[in-house]
Amino acid sequence: PRSGGTVTWPKLSVNSAVQTTFATPSTSFSRCSTLRSREPNPYIHTKRMSESPSTDTESPSGYSHFWNPLGAKLEQETEHRVAYVVCAWSDLLGFGRPFAECAWHPDQVLWQKIAERLHQAYQIHCKHTPSSSQEFMLVLNDGAVRTRVLSRASNECLSLALWLRAAIWSHLDVLDAERKQGLPGPRTVITGGQRAFYSFPEVRLDDIVINYTRKDGGLSKIAKETGNPLLVSNPAPLQMNTAFSRAYILDEAGSKAGLAGANVFIEQSLLDLIDQLCALSPSNYRATKQENETDFLYAVEYLNPPEGRPWCLGFLLDRLPGKVSLPTLATNVFRLKKFFPNDEHPNEFCFDLEPAK
């Protein structure tokens, strides 16, 4: 089916303190207003990073004005950068039930089953791994979160379409593998929002090595010997990521909020962001919507379509569950029935997500 008509696009809103923008095509983050709110750490006596260390105290490591590299990170003034992002949160249904049934003391046989289920889902997600520096995926227990920073590039809708295809394809592959084993499958929630980068993303072993113990520059001896393991992780793509928060809140509400079963759910915030992308100048796309009583078709059309491919992406969405009102979030959510990828004609192919009869 082809959709028609146009809609009035909302303008981007800008906060006077921190400007939220789409990232520039050449970088992962957009530069925004600088907020400098960190007070000096009272436990680390340092010079500011803008000052040069005294030559009479400088060590071969080059870290003489801090106790260790972590001290430099703690004292670094951070530029707070906000950008628009999308997120897909997918987790395995019924995962906690075996733990509850054994009072959270699984035996060796149950542990093996749990590990095999997690391993299978993890492998599938990795087959659909992020393909650009603006994308990121984190797997934690039975959940996998994907996020992408949106840019102002004229072909951003195409990049977003490829990201959506990977997330939805991954959901379908996990569902297929689980159903073959009599397991309930995953639920996936896809949202839009903002991401605020606010601090350094990690601490490794070398970061806590005292500087005066270093004989040479670069990594310390213990870091080299141990592979400099990761001690603390605060991934930049997920730092105060409201799209992730929205997806997690909706998934946690689950069937009580109408998000039942091993389905993909699209939140209104994602459609709103796509509308804004299409409204940007320059843009090669326009968003269209065609409705009936039970569902609606949301499509992004090429202004100058390639031969045989009129759409960049398309969703056939069930109107249900519709309005969702939770203590921390009120929004509209729609079950995805079909997804139309960019590389096929919509009359000839789609990813069918209708529940098996």
The helix (run of H) or strand (run of E) holding residue 148 is strand 143-149
Strands 311-326 and 295-302: antiparallel
pLDDT score recorded for residue 24: 56
pLDDT score recorded for residue 40: 38
pLDDT score recorded for residue 54: 32
pLDDT score recorded for residue 282: 81
pLDDT score recorded for residue 75: 87
pLDDT score recorded for residue 165: 97
The ranges of the chain with pLDDT < 50 are 1-18, 25-64, 357
pLDDT score recorded for residue 61: 44
pLDDT score recorded for residue 17: 40
* Secondary structure (DSSP) of 39-88: PPPTT-----TTSPPPTTT--TTS-TTSSSHHHHHHHPPPPPEEEEEEEE
